[in-house]
Amino acid sequence: MNDRWTPEDLLRPLSEAEQKHAPRDIFVAGDRDLLRAGPTVAIVGSRDATRAGLARADKLARLLVHQGVIIMSGLAEGIDTAAHLAAMRNGGRTIAVLGTPLDQCFPAKNRSLQQEIMRDHLAVSQFPSGTKVGRHTFPIRNRTMAFLSDATVIIEAKDGSGSLHQGWEAIRLGRPLFLAKSMFDDATLQFPREFEHYGAEVLTDETLASLIEQLPKGPRGAVTPIPF
């Protein structure tokens, strides 16, 4: 399936903060109901990931899947690919937010993964067929991913990384943002403390429970009953 929808069609009416960077249209391939099926966490990070970073992405996706969380990422090499694959291997669902139109793939080596996600899970893009893809489309994709997810976790990144666009957008929207503790332990990085100053939290084995507690309960967009 390859359909064109508005964010309101797929999610719910948008807040004033969400409207600023929300895409006008979203093109989907796969099970579009995944956008409303339950809490969704975006796991993102470096394309040139370390072995430890890949292991952390795999671990986090696995643990979240076991809590009924849908895993979202950007289909890039490295952390993104590890998150998608871990979700699928562990019986979970995954959503790929693309920096290309649905009929293109980047990187090319992930074409079979993209096709599997489009068939059995969900791929979304704000870029219509024929859009010229470049470095500018991927930060836009990251901002959209922050909008579509209930929380973002940055596993591994460098100062200036594209993942930081997503972090800042999550903060702007008031979405939970977590950063792996390993990046705080790296004295060469400045952005973790900048994000922490604006409310980002450190992800450890102990704070994972805090992340899960901050996710919405039940289907996304559902009205929560208010008891008298």
- Concatenated DSSP letters of 60-85: HHHHHHTTTPEEEE---TTHHHHHHH
pLDDT band at 61 (very low <50, low <70, confident <90, very high): very high
- What is the spatial distance between Cα 91 and Cα 211, in angstroms, rounded to a whole number? 21
DSSP letters spanning 167-196: HHHHHHHT--EEEEHHHHT-TT--HHHHHH
- What is the spatial distance between Cα 149 and Cα 37, in angstroms, rounded to a whole number? 12
Which CATH class, in words, describes the domain spanning 27-210? Answer: alpha beta
Is the pLDDT reported for residue 32 higher than 80? yes
The answer to whether the beta carbons of residues 62 and 94 sit under 8 Å apart is: no
Is the pLDDT reported for residue 123 higher than 90? yes
Is the pLDDT reported for residue 188 higher than 80? yes
Is the pLDDT reported for residue 126 higher than 60? yes
Dig out the tokens for 48 from the structure: 């040139």
Length of the chain, please?
A: 228
The answer to whether the beta carbons of residues 207 and 201 sit under 8 Å apart is: yes
pLDDT band at 13 (very low <50, low <70, confident <90, very high): confident
pLDDT average, residue stretch 135-154:
96
Domain layout of the chain by residue ranges: 27-210
Mean pLDDT for the chain overall: 93
Residue 160, number of CB atoms within 10 A of its CB: 9
Helix (H, G, I), strand (E, B) or coil at 30: strand
Tell which residue, 144, 140, 75, 78, has the closest CA to residue 110.
75
The predicted model scores a pTM of: 0.93
